[in-house]
């Protein structure tokens, strides 16, 4: 029997950034990522992307729902071999990125900054509100981890539409909506996760993705985009959209 997709607001999203339970849950998330092998899944998904030109300027990367920025920081040392110069914007509705995290990116040669913005405002703005004033108002790559599953319906359509309009490459690593992942989500307590993480893990799987669901929702089909959607590891579901290079 197939699990139907059900989106329910997550507990963490309702807590203030400095609520002790929220802070603990974000630390739990790092352990959950290690168990899910998210860093290596993300690295593989990003390294496989086709960059059309050797960037003279830094690669402009936007992470949506980036949290405290620690997940990308874990991937950056390996990614830096193929992406030596990166200008990274970590967008999240909460102010979670510590100055120490920005400094650690700088040690890798990456310029990182936080953008505290609701993605729905970002998507609804007629021009990218984060890039306003930039010489070229486009992102080379947009990334999202454990993020798209928060949305459905018109909100999701708006976010995907804005992504497709503002970049040529998008990669998302999401919860897989499958029985094995659901069983795993009930076991995150074994990693020492608190009540917030335990509840959100289960909600995330119910709101997750399977098969080609994200490809079907991608706003621009046809010849313009190459879409890849695949199961990764035991619990993850990835989606990658790359615009074909113009002739």
Ligand X SMILES: C[S@@+](CC[C@H](N)C(=O)[O-])C[C@H]1O[C@@H](n2cnc3c(N)ncnc32)[C@H](O)[C@@H]1O
Does the protein bind ligand X through residue 13 (CB under 6 A)?
yes
Q: Are 243 and 224 in contact (CB under 8 A)?
A: yes
Our CB check for ligand X shows the closer of 65 and 225 to be 65
Helix (H, G, I), strand (E, B), or coil: what is residue 86?
strand
Report the site for ligand X in 132-161 (rule: CB under 6 A): 145-147, 150
Q: Is 120 among the residues that bind ligand X (CB under 6 A)?
A: yes
**Under rule CB under 6 A, residue 71 binds ligand X:** yes
Nearer to ligand X, 95 or 226 (CB): 95
φ/ψ of 31, rounded to 5, equals: -70, -40
Cβ(208)–Cβ(43) below 8 Å: no
Does residue 67 touch ligand X according to CB under 6 A?
Answer: yes
Q: Which is nearer to ligand X, 115 or 178 (CB)?
A: 115
Closest approach, Cβ 147 to ligand X, in A, equals 5
User: Considering the complex, what minimum distance in angstroms separates the CB of residue 155 from ligand X?
Assistant: 8
Residue 61: left (phi > 0), alpha (psi -120 to 50), or beta?
beta
Question: Count of alpha carbons within 13 Å of 117, Cβ hemisphere only?
Answer: 20
State how far the Cα of 137 lies from the Cα of 84, in Å rounded to an integer: 21
Sequence-distant (6+) residues with CB within 8 A of 103 are: none
Q: Which CB atom, from 51 or from 130, has the smaller least distance to ligand X?
A: 130
- In the bound state with ligand X, the residue whose beta carbon lies nearer, of 147 and 225, is 147
Residues that bind ligand X (CB under 6 A): 13, 29, 65-67, 71, 92-94, 118-120, 145-147, 150
């Amino acid at each position: 029997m197939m699990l139907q997709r059900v989106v329910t607001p997550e507990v963490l999203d309702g807590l203030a950034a400095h609520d002790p339970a929220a802070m603990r849950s974000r630390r739990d998330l790092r352990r959950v990522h290690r168990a899910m092998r998210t860093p290596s899944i993300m690295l593989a998904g990003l390294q496989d992307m086709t960059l059309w030109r050797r960037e003279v300027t830094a690669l402009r990367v936007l992470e949506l729902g980036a949290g405290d920025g620690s997940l990308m920081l874990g991937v950056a040392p390996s990614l830096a071999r193929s992406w030596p110069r990166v200008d990274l914007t970590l967008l999240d509705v909460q102010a979670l990125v510590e100055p120490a995290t920005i400094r650690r990116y700088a040690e890798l040669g990456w310029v990182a900054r936080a953008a505290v913005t609701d993605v729905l405002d970002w998507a609804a703005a007629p021009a990218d509100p984060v890039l306003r004033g930039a010489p070229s108002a486009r992102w080379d790559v947009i990334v999202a981890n454990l993020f798209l599953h928060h949305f459905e319906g018109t909100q999701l359509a708006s976010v995907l539409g804005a992504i497709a309009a503002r970049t040529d490459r998008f990669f998302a690593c999401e919860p897989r909506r499958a029985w094995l992942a659901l069983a795993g989500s009930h076991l995150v307590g074994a990693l020492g996760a608190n009540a917030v993480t335990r509840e959100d893990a289960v909600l995330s799987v119910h709101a997750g993705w399977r098969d080609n669901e994200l490809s079907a929702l991608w706003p621009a089909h046809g010849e313009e985009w190459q879409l890849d959607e695949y199961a990764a590891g035991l619990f993850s579901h990835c989606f990658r959209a790359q615009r074909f290079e113009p002739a």
